[in-house]
Amino acid sequence: MMGRRGFLALTGMAAAAGLAGCGPSGGGPLVRLASGEVGGFYHAFAGLLSAAAAKTGDVRIERVTTSGSQENLAMLAHGEVDAALALSDSVGDTTDRVLALGRVYENYLQLVVRSDSRIGSVAELRGTRVNLGAAGSGAAVTGYRILRVAGLVPEQDVEISHRPLREAVAALLSGAADALLWAGGVPTSVLEVPQRMRLVDMGELAVPMRERFGPVYDRVEIPADAYPGGVAVHTIGVANLLLAAASMPPETAASIVELLVYKADSLVPTEAAGTQFLDGRSLIGTAPVPLHPGAADVYRRWHG
């Protein structure tokens, strides 16, 4: 059993995180899993889950590359995929169409500026150009909320764009943008922190975010050694949920959850060594989404 951990110094899983997202041609039902952008936590985690499934042969998991939470939820609702990863604050009113397999990780909201920028808080984004994540990403939802809590009016006080991560990084470094918001694990390798970029502290906004939008937000620390040579900052954490279509057979859901419970050590991407919930006691905390019956059965057996 693997307990809840903080940051891990993981260096040996990079190859595993890059494994192809498809399982073998045989060996159990095929599950299409909506993940995220290449280079981010969702994409890496889905690859690791697929690789773990391929070794057991009980289920096949096909990783589907997407822009993130909102697109994943739409694809799941429309039957284009069988499972999806999503930020808990993106779920909204879809809870009648999806069920949860587990609460798997904590994403860290990272507000990034150039190293020479004078921006020191969210409030100081007034009059700037900010990328709030790709269209269809969870950051695109959370980012608007962060701006409002800081007293800013999106589109009026801040010029907003929605580029994929790599394009957003290029725009920031070229001077075409002043800041970017990324919802992911730490370290995220494409963020050149602290060489050419730095993180802006957002810890003071965690409590007002909870008060205004609900208890899905946590105040978390990104320690100084998360990005080698960086400095510690506080920010906002949001739990990730692994979701499934309500129509997924219980035995298929159970096979996936058994991977979460019994193969936890092989499911930690180097791209996202943040707070994990890969423990039977924490995986079940999927509110506001109820657990899939097949998942609940595994957790009952796990707890005895």
In the chain, the amino acid numbered 150 is A
Of 216 and 281, more confident: 216
Tokens of 244: 């499934």
**Residue 25: per-residue pLDDT:** 44
Mean pLDDT of 85-92: 90
Q: What is the pLDDT of residues 220-237, one digit of tens each?
A: 999 998 898 999 999 999
Mean pLDDT of 56-85: 96
Q: pLDDT at residue 174 above 70?
A: yes
Q: What is the pLDDT of residues 7-36, one digit of tens each?
A: 332 222 222 333 333 334 457 999 999 999
Q: What pTM, to 2 d.p., does this model score? A: 0.82
CATH number of 14-105+240-303: 3.40.190.10
Indicate if 108-238 has the same CATH topology as 14-105+240-303: yes
* In the chain, where the domains are located: 14-105+240-303, 108-238
Of 208 and 7, more confident: 208
Residue 51 to residue 69: CA distance in whole angstroms = 22
**Residue 10: per-residue pLDDT:** 27
Mean pLDDT of 258-285: 77
Helices (H) and strands (E) in the chain, counts: 9, 10
Specify the CATH superfamily of domain 108-238.
Answer: Periplasmic binding protein-like II (3.40.190.10)
**Residue 277: per-residue pLDDT:** 62
Mean pLDDT of 241-247: 96
**Residue 18: per-residue pLDDT:** 33
Of 129 and 267, more confident: 129
Beta strand 159-161 with 129-131: parallel, antiparallel or unpaired?
A: parallel
- The neighbour count for residue 20, using CB atoms within 10 Å, is 11
SS3 letters for the chain?
Answer: CCCCCCCCCCCCCHHHHCCCCCCCCCCCCEEEEECCCCCCHHHHHHHHHHHHHHHHCCCEEEEECCCCHHHHHHHHHCCCCCEEEEEHHHCHHHCCCEEEEEEEEEEEEEEEEECCCCCCCHHHHCCCEEECCCCCCHHHHHHHHHHHHCCCCECCCEEEECCCHHHHHHHHHHCCCCEEEEEECCCCCCCCCCCCEEEECCHHHHHHHHHHHCCCEEEEEECHHHCCCCCCEEEEEEEEEEEEECCCCHHHHHHHHHHHHHCHHHCCCHHHCCCECCCHHHHCCCCCCCECHHHHHHHHHHHC
Mean pLDDT of 104-133: 96
- The neighbour count for residue 89, using CB atoms within 10 Å, is 22
**Residue 52: per-residue pLDDT:** 97
